[in-house]
Amino acid sequence: MKPVPDLVLASPLKGWIAPLDEAPDAVFAERMLGDGVAIDPLGSELVAPCDGVVVSAHRAGHAVTLRTAGGAEILMHVGLETVALGGEGFEVHVREGQAVKTGEALISFDLDLLARRAKSLITPVVITNPEAFQIVRRDQDRAVEAGGFLMALRAVDGAATRAFESANEISRPVTVPLAHGVHARPAARIAALAKSFTAETALVAGSRRASARSPVGLMALAVRHGDEIAVVASGADAEAAMTAIAVLIESGMGEGAPVATRTSLAPVVETLLAPAELPADGVLKGVLAAPGLAIGKAVRLASADIAVREQGEGVAQEEAALSAALDKVRARIEAGATKGDKARRAILAAHLAFLDDPELLAQARALIAQGKGAGFGWRSAVGGYVEALRALGDRRLAERVDDLIDLERQVLKALAGEDDEASVLPPGSILLADELLPSQLMGVDPGVVAGLATARGGPTSHVAILAAAMGVPALVAVGGGVLSVADGAALILDADGGTLRVAPDASALAAAQTQLAQRQTRKAAARAAAHDPAVTKDGARIEVFANAGSVKDALAAVENGAEGCGLLRTEFLFLDRENPPDEDEQARQYQAIANALSGRPLIIRTLDVGGDKAAPYLPIPAEENPALGLRGVRVSLWRPHLLKTQLRAILRVRPSKETEGGQCKIMVPMVGSLDELRAVRAVLEEAKRELEITDRVELGVMIETPAAAVTADLLAAEADFLSIGTNDLTQYVLAMDRGNPELAARIDALHPAVLRMIAQTCQGAARHGRWVGVCGGLASDPVATPVLLGLGVTELSTTVAIVPEVKAAVRALDLAACRDLGARALEQTSPEAVRALCQAFGA
């Protein structure tokens, strides 16, 4: 039998052939769609590289796929992110199902327009069924004429298209929310997800059907925004596969939907909270965003709506106006980024990145090209991003919405010729708003702002970060009551206690003023003694460590007197990137932090993602309740190669000075059972053998679930230490989402139920002689220090800034009295009663 000859593909373009790795798009560079080459075009016509049939001609005109008689599928994608142009600059000469010959014209395009509008002109030419055809020769790094040699393909022996089994097939309807339908990027993501299941899956659109594993097949369906399709599946894990694919499509994959015409920002921003009546005692409760106590007068801040014209006055004029406005805002941001603290500079750098986002600009300019005004185009483009971020269901990403809204406002004001001047405020102002924008806070004089409180917002928003960096006490998620506070009303903002007192009487004001003076005195004394050990009056040694997430944090911890790092959040290495850090990068970072601690103990928490912390390279299927899904150790055991890489990196850390038992300890998050601890220890022992490490390495667990707390005695039999994460433990014990602003005021880690879990943890650990620490938010609350010590905690890991005060609080305590306080706290009926008990104890 004669061997099948290789299939030779001619170049479909005149240009320069480059490796596919040089495509500035992970979908192509990482070969999610298949192998091939990239061409930087010098011509404006795409021709057929071989004889074949057109199986897909995208409606946006930027991509076409051919299938040869032998079954090879070749995708040609002109430029990158060109789908957003909506067909502008493209002319398609073929239709689906049409047979074409080598060299026949497929697409003509305006090269100059693409050079201005597209992210890149790079044109990937990809073999999308690499399981059936492999590239045996290819040209790279040279110029080529259209029709010149490009690559040769060879059929893989025994390759066959997988047949979809219809037996026991299940189906789920889906309305497609993707703005541009199922084009290359979503097709690649759907296919990658489908391949992670054993079930056979497909999308069905009318009478057409395509395997979910085939990106080309999916694109060939020509599914558009709003189309009704079905996800079907059969096989062992059909239900899971069908659900995961449907949820992925329904999520919008960050592409959002076409933006409806609107004339104001209000429809994009969530409806403002309706002003609510103030409580009878005048006390509103919220979530701590930046610590401190403030006395001042209410100043209401609100963003005035900016009207925009829908119809433009000519494409050239509107294009020029938008460019000028963007330049003006960019110059102002760049100037602001040259001064101020690191937090301010980092936030402004993020704003610049948003401002220069090519997709955002492309969408705005596409609307201008349709005759719309510059303001309308910009507002619509930003609105699409806002809706997409909110649709992801990720609180961390949703908190970036205020940055986009901020940029929308700044550019619209620049278009209107208005200056974004700093607000002039009276001294002692406590800012009140539904939500504050970062530029609004950066535009005020920090010397006159005593504090801020917002009805909405989150504790990790950029406004919260800015407030903490400015030293301004701040509360978020206070609710609609804050909108009922009259301008000029007297306020006491106790961010540490989570309260905003409106119109306090003379005695409350006097008490707050006394408290402020006492705080300043205590802080000064605590800072002076920051490096003294934390020993109670009766001689009990308590370790006070600091939580960290960077080398800078570790250095600040040492400066503030921390005796080590009780929680290194390794997520700083894993989030906001397309690929996980490798072993060498992790080892370098952990070593740098260990060096910064100068031999002090370093407890490194293994990767804690999932829930509200998403990593793009970990495609965790959408979950109805992420807080109860793949989180912490569950993710590590789901992807054990990531866990092993991280453990090897930690094991490579060498102490900067001799430390008994080694400098690094390892802590596993969200452990719920002994089996999980044993599974991690098995990976740790394997990593130790590979690195020929025989020294003992301590492995501890975080107590963050009721299951871990009530089985602490079982865990302590094999764990080297236990550390309580009170933030998650509180939300799980109370069954309240700590990210829900409606519940924020009721989530208190001093709730007797939470304290009983802490007590049970300490009792279980004591049976095996294990120490118990607290690294959650409660450790940073000096009011709680005596209760925690009384329940049996011997290590506290706090925020860096509060270390001196917690150490000072420990020195003022008698452990026997703390035990009595702890016992009484367990008998209280509410967190308010516990706090009153603690405050009376410390008075």
Q: Which of 48, 62, 57, 40 is nearest to 8 (CA)?
A: 48
Beta strands in 206-329 (DSSP E): 208-211, 228-234, 283-285, 287-290, 293-300
pLDDT band at 94 (very low <50, low <70, confident <90, very high): very high
What's the average model confidence in pLDDT over 722-727? 93
Please state which of the ranges 176-180, 451-455, 806-810 shows the lowest mean pLDDT: 176-180
CB atoms under 10 Å from CB of 823, counted, come to 13
Q: Which residues make beta-bridge pairs with 605?
A: 569, 667
pLDDT band at 159 (very low <50, low <70, confident <90, very high): very low
Q: What pLDDT does residue 280 have?
A: 81
**Dist. CA 285–CA 494, nearest whole Å:** 10
Distances 445 to 16, 291, 440 between C-alpha atoms, Å: 54, 19, 11
What is the pTM for the complete model shown?
A: 0.55
Tens digits of residue pLDDT in 346-367: 667 767 767 776 667 877 888 8
Distances 2 to 5, 157 between C-alpha atoms, Å: 9, 13
Q: CB–CB of 71/132 below 8 Å? A: yes
Q: What pLDDT does residue 214 have?
A: 72
The secondary structure element, H or E, covering residue 173 is: strand 170-175
Tens digits of residue pLDDT in 598-656: 989 999 999 988 655 666 667 666 555 666 767 788 888 888 899 999 999 999 999 86
Q: What pLDDT does residue 702 have?
A: 95
Distances 599 to 547, 659, 662, 664 between C-alpha atoms, Å: 16, 6, 9, 9
What's the average model confidence in pLDDT over 257-272? 33
Tens digits of residue pLDDT in 680-699: 999 999 999 999 999 899 99
**Dist. CA 21–CA 69, nearest whole Å:** 29
Name which residue leads in pLDDT, 244 or 345: 244
Residues designated catalytic: 462, 775
Handedness of CA 701, 702, 703, 704 (dihedral sign): negative
472 has pLDDT over 90: no
Q: What pLDDT does residue 453 have?
A: 92
What's the average model confidence in pLDDT over 61-86? 86
What's the average model confidence in pLDDT over 168-191? 78
Tens digits of residue pLDDT in 25-54: 766 776 767 789 999 999 999 999 999 988
Q: Which of 602, 592, 608 is nearest to 550 (CA)?
A: 592
Tens digits of residue pLDDT in 413-437: 888 887 655 557 888 999 998 877 7
Tens digits of residue pLDDT in 278-314: 788 889 988 777 888 999 999 987 666 677 888 888 9
Q: What pLDDT does residue 706 have?
A: 95
**Dist. CA 139–CA 121, nearest whole Å:** 19
Q: What pLDDT does residue 573 have?
A: 85
- Mark 143-159 as b/e (b = at least 16 C-beta within 10 Å): ebebeeebbbbbbeeee
Distances 271 to 268, 378, 610 between C-alpha atoms, Å: 8, 21, 29
